[in-house]
Structure 1
Amino acid sequence: MSDQRTTSAEAAPRLTSHLRALSLIAPLQRAEDNKGMLHVAAKAAERVDMRYLALAAIELLIDRMGAGGTASRAELIEYLADLARLQSRGLSGTDALALAEHVFDGLTNARDRRARFKVRLFDPDKADGVIFEFALLRAEPLPDGTVGYRLTQEAIEIHLSLLAHDPLTATQVSEIIVGEFLKRGLYDHAVSAAERTRTNSIRLAEALRLLMAEARRAILKVMWHQELGPKMEEARSLLDASIMREGAMLAQLSDTAADVTDETDRRHLSRIRNLLLDVQTRHRKLIVVVQKTAEEYLHLQADALKLRPLARLPDLENEILDPLLRAPDSFLIENADGLFGAISGTLPPLVLDLGTTIAAFQPDIEDIDAIDPDYAFDDPTAGIALPFDEATIARSEQFARETILAAGAITLGEILERAARARPEDDAFQRCLFFILEQAIDPRTTDVTGDASILATRFDAGFVEGTDVRFSRAAATGGGIHASQ
């Protein structure tokens, strides 16, 4: 069991520096987590990011220290309150000041009476771990009797560690840092820098892999010379420089190892050598991939363009018309319609446009002199003679009178049904009867049960409503009574 515990402890990664970095940013996150405990408007304060305010305070102090100055507590509070109101328009001035003071207290560790932050970090080499103490802001008395605040080294580390770098740049920087630590004999710091170098090399390999994968997914849209080519050329140049730098550092380690007698330093040098060999091997594989990418990508793009073969139009005269002229007449007669449609294409259906046809034969008024029209009126057209003879009209009037008088009140449909049963073969009689009954609806026409109807009069029954008309005997005052049914 003892051997197993010892082996486990030796294999455990030493992540104390990583825990240290997390401890530095813990006060910034704590200010965000605890803002709900403040006596401020909850909805307005919810939109305010306290981490942004803490980083903004660090940025302001960096600007002041760059000019050799400091910032007072009042200046920091006022600056952070303005930024809080910028994030939440509904935040009151009092609540903004409360949030700003909360951030300032978090950066200065007000809950522990402005003492230094103190955290315990796990370390596999030490049973009780290590105690890490740090501060973010440092108060400094000024000649005018006031107090100004500066950033500590740990706060500046926060600012630097949160800066984003592309994988190529980060790899170069971390390698240069490893070389500088080796020159100064700071082997423990060189180990940490070499570990960051390995991490950055893995990040670089993944970034290049994703870049090429995205390019292959859009093989027809990404142009090599304008988009992907320059990035790959930059990566190739930097990888060449990295491989040469790593080779120089490995040679330096070989020369230095013989002169180092301290066991801890020798262990650090062995660790650095293994890390740099891993990075160099990865970079050598990457540079081969980058060098082959251009040719492979261009071949893939060319193959993608060949997926759709070009369509060739036939030679109409040599390949179609000439063979048709040599074909037998029977074949041409049977397939004339199909051959004509294939050669000439589909014709739209013919539509006679009367308006366009008439307009084509009319002169353009703009092209001729305006002529006043001369209207001439012809004699009235003679009326059309009735198609019924006098005997048919008399029989129809007599039948209508007798039927209406016998019934007292009867509809038009019933009269016509009786006429059809009485004279089924006499179409002229039935039509004449219908016209007489139809005209009898008009008040201008004489009652059909009295005097003769006037067939020559044009009938207009627009005032009649309903589906059928009921006829009855004339009233005492004269005139027919016709009701719509």
Structure 2
Amino acid sequence: MDVVLSDATNDPVPESVNESLLAGPLDLGRQTRNLLLARPLHELAAKVRRADYGDGEFQDIDTHYLALAMFDFIMEGSVFGLGRLREEVTSYLAEVVRQMKPALGEDRCNQLALEILNSLHNTDNRNEQFDFPYYDVASATTRSYRFSLLTFERQDDNQYKYRLTEAAILLYVGQLDIGAEQMQTLLDRMTAELVKRGRVNEALDVSRQAYLQAVRYQDSIRTRLDRAQRVPDAISWKQDLEPFIEESREHIDERGKEERSLLGLVKEKINNTSDRITRERLVRLCETVEREADIHLHLLRLVAQAGEKYLEASRTMFRARQRHRLPDMEDRVLPQLLKLPQASLTQVAQRGWHVLLPPNVERVFNLRQVIELLTEPQAEPPVRSDDPDIIKPIPEEVPHFGPEVVREGNRYLKLTFGAGRPVFIDEVLEKAEADGLDAVVRDYLVFMMYQSFSREEDIFGVDAQPQGRFNLPRVEGSRLLFTPRDTHDEQ
């Protein structure tokens, strides 16, 4: 890593120089240099666009994909071999271009493949290193960063072959997208290992990256929970939110254990170190880890409150929303508009005249209707209160049946269910009507049979399951199937 990020032309900045600046302006030199590694790819894309001449020949060509594919091809050739020949690289790129855009001719595919290879090898500048400026905080100057992506050298088999430099490998591997959880686990363990080996400066850089990953993880959790609170009806608690919260809680607990262990290790190193600069860096490392731990502590509270906030958001969906009063156009808006100068009023009318139009425009067919509409007095709208609406509970109306009706209905249902065979609710009601039961008794039968759908309130020893719907002249609803309950199930 140090070789990739070192300057090929300027002397490296000693670690002891400008130590006080490290606590001041943020040193982003390494990140800036890593960004510059992708600069040749962007220039290649712009160069291909300029060569399009407006005819759309290279319109669907993704040069970034072609560059990364070439890196992967050369890297694979360097595993068991010594690199890739020039003919191998151009043939591979031409085939990828042909797959990307079949309408492109073979000559143009070969030409574009050669252009990509030469551009990333910087052939236009005699294969010299790429040279880009960047601002260095430690020295407070603009420095020059030089690097190469490809090398073309004679190998042991006496052939010239292409190989990737460490800068190209860093550029290629750095594009891999790893989740924040995995990155936090990896970086925390790397920090602990670097501290054990005494490489405090690198441990400080890695801990900074771990802190940024914690911020990234915090943002992802907040976004997920905020969405659940905004649209709770679009998210299933059991399937979507509960597993996510459980995984987040386990990850945060694991991070807390790792951070406590790392803090203990760093504090032990501080007590055993006499060098001033090393102690200062260890103190900054300890502060960075503590800031990361604070984020996880805040996330733990956020995750713990997620269930309660989700329930509150779900309840809010069923509340009557408070009406907000809009300003009266004739009393407040139009008088202010009429006080404006004519030029200003004209500008306002050109931009916002449409807001004065009603939602439904009435059709007027003659001048008399126009005059009637203009002279018709408008009724004063009722003044609405800004107080929140109150939802009054609806009193539950329980049907009242006489003792004779209750005894007759229970007796009839016990005889019907005592037969020991499954029976539908509509069959019971039709048979009761055929047996001459009164309409009030049949109403009681309906009430008791639907009450038996709840196993806790059933008094006849049957299980009820809905099987579609039924429709009779006096009642309609879910068609319940009643089956005798096994004595073994009751136990």
TM interval, shorter chain, is 0.5 to 0.7
Q: Percent identity at matched positions?
A: 22
Distance across 2 between alignment mates of 1:259 and 1:217: 52
Distance across 1 between alignment mates of 2:164 and 2:245: 40
Distance across 1 between alignment mates of 2:198 and 2:279: 12
Q: Provide the residue aligned with 1:215 in structure 2.
A: 228
Q: How does 1:412-423 map to 2 (within 5 A)?
A: none
| Letter aligned with residue 147 of structure 1 | Y
CA displacement at 1:225 relative to structure 2: 2.1
Match of 1:59 among 47, 51, 72: 72
CA displacement at 1:123 relative to structure 2: 1.3
Q: Provide the residue aligned with 2:158 in structure 1.
A: 145
Matched, 1:118 2:138: no
Instruction: Return closer, same or farther for 1:236/1:68 CA change in 2, 3 Å cut-off.
Output: farther
Match of 1:185 among 198, 204, 213: 198
Match of 2:259 among 242, 246, 249: 246
Q: Is the 8 A contact 2:21 2:138 kept in 1?
A: no
Q: Is the 8 A contact 2:82 2:155 kept in 1?
A: no
Q: Provide the residue aligned with 2:324 in structure 1.
A: none
Query: What TM-score does the superposition give when structure 1 sets the normalisation length?
Result: 0.58
Q: How does 1:7-406 map to 2 (within 5 A)?
A: 11-38=24-51, 42-68=55-81, 70-298=83-311, 300-301=313-314, 304=317
Distance across 1 between alignment mates of 2:189 and 2:22: 31
User: If you compute each CA radius of gyration, which structure gives the higher value, 1 or 2?
Assistant: 1
SS in 2 for 1:126: coil
Instruction: Return closer, same or farther for 1:246/1:109 CA change in 2, 3 Å cut-off.
Output: same
Instruction: Return closer, same or farther for 1:229/1:47 CA change in 2, 3 Å cut-off.
Output: same
Q: Is the 8 A contact 1:138 1:151 kept in 2?
A: yes
Q: Is the 8 A contact 1:58 1:159 kept in 2?
A: yes
CA displacement at 1:181 relative to structure 2: 2.1
What is the CA deviation profile of residues 398-449 of structure 1, one whole-angstrom value per residue up to 9, with x for unaligned ones?
xxxxxxxxxxxxxxxxxxxxxxxxxxxxxxxxxxxxxxxxxxxxxxxxxxxx
SS in 1 for 2:27: coil
Q: Is the 8 A contact 1:179 1:249 kept in 2?
A: yes
Distance across 2 between alignment mates of 1:68 and 1:312: 85
CA displacement at 1:270 relative to structure 2: 2.6
Query: What TM-score does the superposition give when structure 2 sets the normalisation length?
Result: 0.58
CA displacement at 1:67 relative to structure 2: 4.3
Q: Is the 8 A contact 2:52 2:59 kept in 1?
A: no
Instruction: Return closer, same or farther for 1:299/1:9 CA change in 2, 3 Å cut-off.
Output: closer
Distance across 2 between alignment mates of 1:293 and 1:272: 32
Count residues in correspondence: 319
Distance across 2 between alignment mates of 1:187 and 1:180: 10
What is the CA deviation profile of residues 117-167 of structure 1, one whole-angstrom value per residue up to 9, with x for unaligned ones?
333332122144444332222234344432222222221211221111222
Distance across 1 between alignment mates of 2:400 and 2:197: 87
CA displacement at 1:60 relative to structure 2: 1.7
| Letter aligned with residue 61 of structure 2 | V
| Letter aligned with residue 279 of structure 1 | E
Instruction: Return closer, same or farther for 1:261/1:114 CA change in 2, 3 Å cut-off.
Output: farther
What is the CA deviation profile of residues 351-402 of structure 1, one whole-angstrom value per residue up to 9, with x for unaligned ones?
xxxxxxxxxxxxxxxxxxxxxxxxxxxxxxxxxxxxxxxxxxxxxxxxxxxx
Distance across 2 between alignment mates of 1:74 and 1:80: 10
Instruction: Return closer, same or farther for 1:74/1:236 CA change in 2, 3 Å cut-off.
Output: same
Distance across 2 between alignment mates of 1:71 and 1:54: 15
Q: Is the 8 A contact 2:52 2:58 kept in 1?
A: no
CA displacement at 1:258 relative to structure 2: 3.2
| Letter aligned with residue 114 of structure 1 | N
Q: Is the 8 A contact 1:14 1:124 kept in 2?
A: yes
What is the CA deviation profile of residues 274-319 of structure 1, one whole-angstrom value per residue up to 9, with x for unaligned ones?
2111111010110122133234434644665798999999789979
Unmatched tracts of structure 2, length 5 or more: 1-18, 321-390, 403-438, 441-472, 476-491
What is the CA deviation profile of residues 162-183 of structure 1, one whole-angstrom value per residue up to 9, with x for unaligned ones?
1112222222222222222222
| Letter aligned with residue 23 of structure 1 | L
| Letter aligned with residue 263 of structure 2 | L
SS in 2 for 1:47: coil
CA displacement at 1:9 relative to structure 2: 9.0
CA displacement at 1:210 relative to structure 2: 0.7
Unmatched tracts of structure 1, length 5 or more: 1-5, 323-342, 346-485
SS in 2 for 1:119: strand
Q: Provide the residue aligned with 1:472 in structure 2.
A: none
Distance across 2 between alignment mates of 1:107 and 1:306: 62
What is the CA deviation profile of residues 7-66 of structure 1, one whole-angstrom value per residue up to 9, with x for unaligned ones?
999632111011111111111111111124548884111221211111111122233334
CA displacement at 1:229 relative to structure 2: 1.6
Instruction: Return closer, same or farther for 1:251/1:117 CA change in 2, 3 Å cut-off.
Output: same
SS in 2 for 1:148: strand
SS in 2 for 1:34: helix
* Bigger mean CA deviation after superposition, 260-269 or 82-91: 260-269
Q: Is the 8 A contact 2:37 2:167 kept in 1?
A: yes
CA displacement at 1:202 relative to structure 2: 0.9
Distance across 2 between alignment mates of 1:314 and 1:344: 19
